[in-house]
Structure 1
Amino acid sequence: MGQQQLLLLVLSIVIVGLAVVVGIQAFTENQQKSEIDRYVDQGVAMSGDIVAFYLKPTAQGGAGRNADALGDLAISDLGYREDRTDTWNGFERSGVVENGVVRYVGASDTHPFLHIHRFPQSPGDPRVEVHVFGPSPNCVVTRSDIYEVSPTWSDGKADNEAPDAPAGCSW
């Protein structure tokens, strides 16, 4: 083989190698975005369960439009089985684990929230929070981050900071 042919062969191998690396990186990023979208969809659906619980009369096992009842909200109140309970950033929460994903529900002093991520969680895993500031669809706030990679949530707040409530939202 001539020198020119060897140079072309090496150049081709380098180009193919770079293309493979870029393709793998693009696939990984797309996979994380897809996972975040799936968690947001689950969280928004579950936020509807929170509103339904709030509106349901107490005689039927709901909160009866009593916002104080949301402070003790558990995943079982929303019709899911309860697999896990723990404390995260000072908040008591209960959750259900299905297909390697945990969906927690908890409550701050002002509103209930959902926390969704892989279980068990590892650095680099996407996670999503859904905060429900009132019974209107306009009062649901979602945010995401990459566990132990992103220094803050997608709204710029830290783990122990709730997102800002939309104007006019309250229970």
Structure 2
Amino acid sequence: MAVRAILFDRDGTLVHDVPYNGDPAAVRPVHAAARALALARMHGLRTGVVTNQSGIGRGLLTTAQVDAVHQRVDELLGRFDTWQVCPHHPHDGCRCRKPAPGLVLDACAALGVPPAATVVIGDIGADVRAALAAGARPILVPTPVTRADEVEAAPEVAPDLLEAVRLALAPAGVPT
């Protein structure tokens, strides 16, 4: 099935990871993020973000702070078609926290795109497992925090975000 949407993890994938970031001024896109998103959008793909934000559930962040960070990401990288956020504490047992498939499934529903036509790009094994559990295609972009076993287990790995988007487009026969 042709790719119709790409979902991105936020921290470590789209922007540099600042633990429990509630400060829009601290948002810094990763190298080539703007180019990667421009490429996806140029080919008509829907874009979304699927992000665990346990700082809310831990009482370290407010929803308003997280929303302000997301607004800043939209300002820097262009507006995303959907933002799906898990605000729960890791021990809450929710259906949305990655590696559970809830965020991916909710994003696909919001975009009107089946999981089989969706690529999920992330930097850790939880992103890959969430994509697989939802029936989407995962692409891992390792960072210094990515464990070697996560890289080894990933079905597809790209060296950076731009290459991940190119890889996502390639099976659809779309020239990059």
Which TM bucket (shorter chain)? Answer: under 0.3
- Pick 1 or 2: higher relative contact order, CA cutoff 8 A, min separation 6: 2
What TM-score, normalized by structure 2, do the two folds share? Answer: 0.27
Greater Rg by CA: 1
What TM-score, normalized by structure 1, do the two folds share? Answer: 0.28
